[in-house]
Amino acid sequence: NAGVTQTPKFRILKIGQSMTLQCAQDMNHNYMYWYRQDPGMGLKLIYYSVGAGITDKGEVPNGYNVSRSTTEDFPLRLELAAPSQTSVYFCASSSRSGLAGVKTQYFGPGTRLLVL
Amino acid sequence: GENVEQHPSTLSVQEGDSAVIKCTYSDSASNYFPWYKQELGKGPQLIIDIRSNVGEKKDQRIAVTLNKTAKHFSLHITETQPEDSAVYFCAATIQGTGTASKLTFGTGTRLQVTL
């Protein structure tokens, strides 16, 4: 299994541009998450999904959109990039009912985004 | 919502010494507390976790303790090695049947193990 994969690894955007960060998992996990990590800070939840067609906002959803058309993929869309969106973005996934009920989250390698 | 505080922000220990990282949480309903290790340029990786019905859990050189009354939990690494050098994050969440676990993370501890 490749686990959670993310593309691209690094991207530079100009203010106002848009882009989609790709995330895919091959573990047949129902739950998927997007976090952002700012320097010296912990990860903050942007959006999450409990299954295909179902998404919900996390702590910091403004400026982002998501969709979940398949179990495997959970892309994150930035419509009008702003410098405040410069960050490292991590995608994660977990099963609906893990071992002993613990739903461990597995993280991808991250996408580093710089908005200038 | 949940708030997780983590201390210290940086920790330097000599190889072979022990390291302790502490976290406090605010929501008494939180029942699952994972610890993640993040190496440079990589995503967080789960190293150990604990549920609220357990006071302590060990896995070789790593242990986690939980005090529900005081709402704090700690990571203990014994016999530290250079490969333990990384950033460590604590997190808290409410895990329930059929619901996603929205992790609230601490701000991280950069551990450096010196020779």
Q: For residue A32, is pLDDT > 70?
A: yes
DSSP string, chain B: ---EEEE-SEEEEETTS-EEEEEEES-TT--EEEEEEE-TTS--EEEEEEETT-SEEEETTEEEEEETTTTEEEEEE-S--GGG-EEEEEEEB---TTS----EE---EEEEEE-
CB contacts, 8 Å: B41 with chain A: 109-110
Q: Which residue has the tokens 């939990």?
A: B73
- How is residue A99 written in tokens? 């071992």
Task: Kindly state whether A94 is in contact with chain B, defined as any CB-CB distance less than 8 angstroms.
Answer: yes
A42 closest CB neighbour out of B32, B97, B106: B106
CB contacts, 8 Å: B7 with chain A: none
CB contacts, 8 Å: A54 with chain B: none
pLDDT tens digits for range B89-115: 999 998 877 677 889 999 999 999 998
pLDDT tens digits for range B47-100: 999 988 889 999 999 999 999 999 999 999 999 999 999 999 999 998 877 677
Q: For residue A72, is pLDDT > 80?
A: yes
